[in-house]
């Protein structure tokens, strides 16, 4: 399958997020078809790591588009994002869930005892299934031979794309509904369960 064009990813995260559904993420022999993502819009988004500006942790988010932003959370999990938008705007799309389409035997070992639909059902499970970690932060997903690569997949029927609040992210009113920036493919068993965010008061 062809790689994505950097220009496609240099748009608003709200435009990029639904368009990467169905795209295929490759990491070594394992490949995953994206079924659920979330958009994050930097300085105009209280849910974004970059809301308060650039830090050593968030530097990758500031561009260029097409790179992988990997972060460590809760002291135990890695999550990964596709950087998008023009350079300097710190936009990204969190890769929330997907269907393993290659490397099943290896993922079965990595996710021993877990049902196949759950192998990459959630952002931390996704990175574990693909063995993505801190060393992959900043990888150019569009470069030939990259350790992690994002390629175009079969186009998803727009009628199957749904939107709603992001998982675990609060906002005005405390429930996150002001930012319906989660996108998923309806009917896909690998889509994660919705969990509302809690306001920190």
Q: For the segment 42-74, what is each residue's pLDDT rounded down to a tens digit?
A: 778 777 887 777 788 888 988 899 999 999 987
Q: Is the peptide bond before 64 cis (omega within 30 degrees of 0)?
A: yes
Flag whether 192 is in a domain: no
On whether residue 191 sits in a domain, the answer given is: no
Higher-scoring residue by pLDDT: 177, 44: 44
Question: How does pLDDT run across 28-45, given as a tens digit for each residue?
Answer: 999 999 999 999 987 787
- CA dist 75 and 78 (Å) reads 9
- Please report the pLDDT score of residue 174 as a whole number: 45
Q: Is residue 13 part of a domain?
A: yes
Strands 148-151 and 91-102 come out as unpaired
Q: Which domain holds residue 160?
A: 6-185
CA distance 12 to 91: 7
Total structural domains within the chain: 1
Residue 200 has pLDDT above 50, yes or no: no
In a domain, 190, yes or no: no
> In this structure, what CATH number is given to the domain that contains residue 34?
3.10.300.10
- Is there a domain that residue 198 lies in? no
* 65 inside domain: yes
Residue 31 lies in a domain: yes
Nearest to 65 by CA among 134, 145, 4: 4
Task: Report, as an integer, the average pLDDT of 98-107.
Answer: 98
- Residue from 121, 129, 101 nearest 189 by CA: 121
* pLDDT for the residue 170: 60
54 in a structural domain: yes
């Amino acid at each position: 399958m062809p790689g994505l064009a950097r220009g496609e990813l240099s748009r608003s995260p709200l435009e990029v997020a639904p368009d990467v559904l169905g795209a295929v993420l490759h990491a070594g022999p394992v490949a995953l078809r994206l079924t659920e993502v979330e958009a994050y819009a930097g300085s105009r988004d209280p849910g974004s790591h970059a809301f308060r500006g650039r830090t050593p942790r968030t530097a990758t988010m500031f561009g260029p588009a097409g790179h992988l932003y990997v972060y460590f959370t809760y002291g135990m999990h890695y999550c990964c994002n596709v950087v998008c938008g023009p350079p300097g705007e710190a936009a990204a799309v969190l890769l929330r869930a997907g269907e393993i389409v290659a490397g099943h035997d290896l993922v079965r070992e990595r996710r021993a005892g877990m049902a196949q639909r759950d192998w990459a059902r959630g952002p931390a499970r996704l990175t574990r299934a693909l063995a993505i970690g801190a060393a992959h932060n900043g990888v150019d997903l569009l470069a030939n031979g990259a350790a992690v690569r994002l390629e175009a997949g079969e186009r998803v029927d727009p009628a199957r794309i749904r939107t709603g609040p992001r998982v675990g992210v609060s906002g005005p009113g405390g429930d996150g509904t002001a930012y319906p920036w989660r996108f998923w493919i309806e009917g896909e068993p690998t889509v994660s369960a919705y969990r509302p965010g809690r306001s920190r008061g």
